[in-house]
């Protein structure tokens, strides 16, 4: 891809200091990061360098106006010693879409994937082996021009960093509790709810914090006009099993088109399940609890993979889903997707991007 990709290796790896049995989520970073800069109309100077602090001027546009987009994807290591990056091409296309909405020059799909190939190949020893863990990959693009005008930046930086992570929720594959947000809004029609940009997450922090005080790990967001229709959960898309149907909110410009969402729909349909993408009123779900039609609720996201929902709160009531137990379809889908990502099942969709590793992995990450 690049004739001369500059690689500066760290003088001392931190890998031996990492306890892979006690990983958090994104609080430990691998040894290196990829970097590229956009200036004078083109992306330039691709390099891999030691992970570390970066210098920004106080007037950096992104610090004031939030002109940044990012992605999240994962790499897994199978027993065959092959690193697998799950569906990076789809993440690349989504990042391009986000860039267009935020007036950011996109990184093309080939360069996006090449950056990940080079970085994961170099830091492959950081990929955990334990089921449920992975090497999380975070590409990020942000404006770096030093100015205070309310206009798009003319200079940008593209960084890719990686971090060995546990399952996103401490509960792992055990059911989580959600709270339906009735006051605050994550996104509205015509906004940026469908792209992965920093502002969406900043707006969600306060109501999520309020929910956490009551014991709920995430919020279920309703539409920004009527506060009636379910949209998504902060860290994932959401699915409901209503008797013999599985329903999930359709993509209409206010929710993120999740890569795991798309994967889950494909796997479910290919297994013979009826999957509907449509508007879902929260009242429909409450009624389904009372009638016994609601059999399972689960979330789907890169960080969470597949997360069963055991209860949710709405209008001062708490509703249990199947006695706060993970359902059979949820567990099947989690296992199916995890097996595929780790190389324990046939990848008949061609979703995994394979990175051959010539050097044996460090024993430190094998525990």
Q: Does 332 reside within a domain?
A: no
Task: Tell me whether residue 334 is in a domain.
Answer: no
For position 357, what pLDDT does the model report? 80
What is the predicted pLDDT for the residue at 366? 46
pLDDT at 159: 98
Number of domains in the chain: 2
Domain assignment present for residue 1? The answer is no
Query: Within this chain, do residues 32 and 119 fall inside the same structural domain, yes or no?
Result: yes
The answer to the question of residue 339 being in a domain is no
Cα–Cα–Cα angle for 363, 366, 367, rounded to 5 degrees: 105
136 and 10 in one domain?
yes
pTM: 0.94
**Are 117 and 205 contained in the same domain?**
no
The pLDDT of residue 133 is: 92
What tokens appear for 211 in the block?
């929910």
59 lies in a domain? yes
Pairing of strands 218-222, 237-242: unpaired
User: What would the pLDDT profile of 317-338 be if each residue is shown by its tens digit?
Assistant: 999 998 899 999 999 999 999 9
What domain range includes position 117?
A: 6-170+344-365
Answer whether residue 330 is part of any domain.
no
Q: What's the confidence (pLDDT) of residue 363?
A: 43
For position 319, which CATH number holds? 3.20.10.10
In a domain, 271, yes or no: yes
Q: Is residue 316 assigned to a domain?
A: yes
Low-confidence residues in the chain, pLDDT < 70? 168-173, 358-367
């Amino acid at each position: 891809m690049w004739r001369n990709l500059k690689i500066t290796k760290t003088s001392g790896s931190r890998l031996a200091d990492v306890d892979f049995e006690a990983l958090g989520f994104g609080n430990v970073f691998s040894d290196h990061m990829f970097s590229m800069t956009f200036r004078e109309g083109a992306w330039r100077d691709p390099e891999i360098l030691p992970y570390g602090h970066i210098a920004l001027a106080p007037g950096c546009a992104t610090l004031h106006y939030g002109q940044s987009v990012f992605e999240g994807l994962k790499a897994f290591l199978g027993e065959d010693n092959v690193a697998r990056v799950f569906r990076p091409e789809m993440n690349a296309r989504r990042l391009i879409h986000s860039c267009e909405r935020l007036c950011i020059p996109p990184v093309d799909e080939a360069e996006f994937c090449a950056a990940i190939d080079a970085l994961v190949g170099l830091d492959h020893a950081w990929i955990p082996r334990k089921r449920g863990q992975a090497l999380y990959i975070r590409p990020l693009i942000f404006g770096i021009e030093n100015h205070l005008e309310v206009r798009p930046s003319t200079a940008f930086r593209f960084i890719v960093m990686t971090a060995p992570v546990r399952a996103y929720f401490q509960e792992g594959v055990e059911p989580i509790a959600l709270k339906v947000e009735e006051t605050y809004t994550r996104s509205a029609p015509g906004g940026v709810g469908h792209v992965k940009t920093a502002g969406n997450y900043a707006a969600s922090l306060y109501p999520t914090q309020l929910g956490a005080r009551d014991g709920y790990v995430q919020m279920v967001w309703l539409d920004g006009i009527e506060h009636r229709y379910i949209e998504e959960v902060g860290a994932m898309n959401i699915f409901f099993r209503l008797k013999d149907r599985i329903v999930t909110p359709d993509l209409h410009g206010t929710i993120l088109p999740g890569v795991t969402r798309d994967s889950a729909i494909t796997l479910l349909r290919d297994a013979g399940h009826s999957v509907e993408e449509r508007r879902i009123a929260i009242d429909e779900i409450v009624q389904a609890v009372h009638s016994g039609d609601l059999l399972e609720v689960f979330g789907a996201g890169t960080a969470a993979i597949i997360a069963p929902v055991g209860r949710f709160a709405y209008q001062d009531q708490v509703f249990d889903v199947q006695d706060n137990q993970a359902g059979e379809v949820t567990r099947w889908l989690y296992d199916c997707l995890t097996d595929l990502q780790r190389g324990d099942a046939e990848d008949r969709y061609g979703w995994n991007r394979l990175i051959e590793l010539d050097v044996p992995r460090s024993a430190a990450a094998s525990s």
